[in-house]
Amino acid sequence: MNLNGRAAVVTGSGRGIGRAYALALAEAGCAVVVNDVDKDVAEDTVSAIKEAGGTAVAEVTAVGATEAAERLVAAAVESFGKLDIMVTNAGILRDRVIWNMSDDDFDAVIETHLRGTFTCARAAVRRMREQDSGGRIVVVASWAGQRGNFGQTNYAAAKAGIAAFARTWAMECAKNRITVNAIVPNAITRMISTIPGMQEVVDAADRGEPLPDMVRKQMGMGTPDDVAPLLVFLCSDEASNVTGQCIGLGGDKLSLWSHPKEISVAYRDGGWTADQIAEVWPTSVGSQPESYGIPFLGGSR
């Protein structure tokens, strides 16, 4: 797939899935602004891209603030003359059950994931509208945002909001030929080692052991490199009509996530009392309640 002549920003791309995204875009011909809070890992990713014949620059900043987003867009314009692609991948975890989660735990995750996605996308869309040549916004959602996950109040809330961003911005940006989609990645990175039950899988992957079919197919989980092709596709001409979608990829599993919708309804002339709702709930609207939680982490209910 050919992305020659295009310029991208990938936030949080010094390591993990973000690094895989940056390398894959560069391999497809895209010039990339590599962003991270760690200067060494950002420059290491830039070096890897250049050694493979690609074009990249590093911009070291923490996403969240408007000023950081504007710096990233400016880095692309100053280095490559334009911005075609914004990938809002940067993220952190501060996992705690709700009764142990501090204000700082909550605010830090919301600032990086939710506000960082908003400010970076806003800055990118403003530039793309000025250029009037279309563009790609790819945000990063998660299983936790789609299903909920134990101990991840802050992260799940942020990622659910990011999925809603994609649906909203797809409508707002359509006139300017800017597509907006959310990737729901499922990859083994150091970030997921804090999730209960995942340390053993992470350790095996670190040792370079092949992942069993149960992990790659049933859990739909693989390496960061397994996820990156979806980003390249969404940034290509082949995906010019794909927008407003939440698309999952991990291991051997590619998936399209549904959007929230009414699945069961009931009507009563004149409205409802609480007693009337209780009467019909078990045999009508509430007869088949929705599950929640991530099945392969033992959290499905």
Query: Is 267 annotated in the active site?
Result: no
Spatial CB neighbours of 88, under 8 Å, sequence gap ≥ 6: 11, 63, 116, 117, 120, 121, 137, 138, 139, 140, 162
Length of the chain: 301
Listing from the earlier edge strand, what are the strands of the sheet with 178-185? Answer: 56-60, 31-36, 7-10, 85-88, 135-140, 178-185, 246-250, 253-256
CA angle 227, 228, 232 (to 5 degrees): 135
Contact 223, 187 (CB under 8 A): yes
Q: Tokens 């563009």 sit at which residue?
A: 135
The answer to whether 17 and 187 have CB atoms below 8 angstroms apart is yes
Provide the H-helix boundaries in 137-212. 143-147, 153-173, 199-206
Residue with tokens 């993220």: 91
The residue from 21, 155, 267, 292 that is catalytic is 155
Largest CA distance in the chain: 70
Whose CA is closest to 178, among 230, 117, 227, 235? 235
99, 108 in Cβ contact below 8 A?
Answer: no
Catalytic positions, written as ranges: 155
